[in-house]
Chains A and B, each alone.
Chain A
Amino acid sequence: SAVISQKPSRDICQRGTSLTIQCQVDSQVTMMFWYRQQPGQSLTLIATANQGSEATYESGFVIDKFPISRPNLTFSTLTVSNMSPEDSSIYLCSVDGVRGNTDTQYFGPGTRLTVL
């Protein structure tokens, strides 16, 4: 597997502000993904973070609300923009292609976001 860290681990934010979440992996990976887990719910994919190009967003998620960067093979950021209480969720990054082994995603510890 891989060691995946996320910053911050949790935050409480005010409505209308933005938060950038960082995801760092200890080795180069092929794929990086961002998921949202709303309270008591399952995980929903927000987007696939592509290295050196624009992220690929799932239906219902847009770049203006969730801009994503992936400057290299070990790091990605997700920004939650113009937040509302409905954005209160756990945001998780995941990676695939650890040490060339594809077909298994490993998850970071998550960022717990509360919007007031």
Chain B
Amino acid sequence: GNSVTQMEGPVTLSEEAFLTINCTYTATGYPSLFWYVQYPGEGLQLLLKATKADDKGSNKGFEATYRKETTSFHLEKGSVQVSDSAVYFCALTDYNQGGKLIFGQGTELSVKP
């Protein structure tokens, strides 16, 4: 079945460092890909998405490109802030199962001043 694999956390960075969180997926067909962010004590917020190969999603300085050839959707940000500290989830839409989301295990990011 479809699945999503993220790099394990926690990831600890200093403020203004470059961020990469790896995400790879296994899927039949052409799923849409998402990054969600969960700040401490809150629900999930949609960060960005891409619906087809070579699409780049971007929001709040974060970017991710849908790479079909490597089945990847890595999240990047050029300069992280303390306020970016959160758990980040990569997910795909499983159209074979009614459009439900399949989530990766989540990557906790901690940014130190």
Per-position 1/0 for A1-18, Cβ under 8 A of B = 100001000000000000
- B88-105 CB contacts (< 8 Å) to partner A: 89, 93, 98-101, 103-105
**B69 in the interface, Cβ–Cβ < 8 Å?**
no
Question: Does B45 contact A42, Cβ atoms closer than 8 Å?
Answer: no
Verify A109–B42 contact, CB threshold 8 A.
Answer: yes
**Interface residues of B, CB < 8 Å — how many?**
20
Cβ contact within 8 Å between B100 and A45: yes
- In the complex, what residues of A have CB within 8 A of residue B104's CB? 42
Query: Interface range on chain A: under 10, 10 to 19, 20 to 34, or 35 or more?
Result: 20 to 34
The answer to whether B105 and A107 have CB atoms under 8 Å apart is no
Q: Per-residue 0/1 for A81-116: is the Cβ within 8 Å of any B Cβ (1 yes, 0 no)? A: 000000000001010100000111111111000000
Chain A proximity of B101: nearest CB distance (Å): 6
- A58 cross-chain contacts in B, Cβ below 8 A: 100
Identify the closest chain B residue to A50 (Cβ). B98
B30 → chain A, closest Cβ, in Å? 11
Chain B residues with Cβ under 8 A from A96's Cβ? 99
Contact present for A104 and B44 (CB under 8 Å): no
CB-contact partner of B103 in A43, A48, A102, under 8 A = A43
Question: Which residues of A approach B to under 8 Å, CB–CB?
Answer: 1, 6, 31, 33, 41-43, 45, 48, 56, 58, 92, 94, 96, 102-110
